[in-house]
């Protein structure tokens, strides 16, 4: 069961999170405010963003990434897969039940 780490501008994060859950690509998306500092096109940027922790399944992962890339306003969105090595069995079952590949 992977958790997918995604960052998004605050004005897009809510719609992205809701879309992933509504389309059953994610069982849950946790949203956390953050301030990001990064280099893009040779310049340093500092932006208010949200971190999205997206709970999904192995089977839905590729579709989820495709949807994030299509929906996301950035040319190159941050999408990182975090594989869980130890998850409460009941929680893993809930994620499996809520996500459709």
Tell me the β-bridge partners of 4.
54, 81
pTM for the whole structure: 0.91
Give pLDDT, residue 44.
97
Q: Which domains does the chain have, with CATH numbers?
A: 2-98 (3.30.70.120)
Q: Which residues does 72 contact at the CB level (< 8 Å), separation at least 6? A: 6, 8, 12, 16
Give pLDDT, residue 32.
98
Give pLDDT, residue 31.
98
Give pLDDT, residue 70.
97
Residues lower than pLDDT 50 in the chain: none
Give pLDDT, residue 101.
78
Give pLDDT, residue 1.
87
């Amino acid at each position: 069961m992977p958790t997918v780490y995604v960052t998004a501008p605050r004005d897009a994060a809510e719609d992205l999170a809701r879309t992933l859950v509504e389309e059953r690509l994610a069982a849950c998306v946790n949203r956390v405010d953050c301030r990001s500092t990064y280099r893009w096109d040779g310049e340093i940027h500092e932006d208010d963003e949200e971190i999205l922790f997206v709970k999904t399944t192995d089977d839905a992962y590729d579709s989820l990434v495709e949807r994030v890339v299509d929906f996301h306003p950035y040319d190159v969105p941050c999408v990182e897969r975090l594989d869980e090595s130890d998850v409460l069995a009941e929680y893993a079952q809930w994620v499996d039940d809520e996500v459709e590949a």
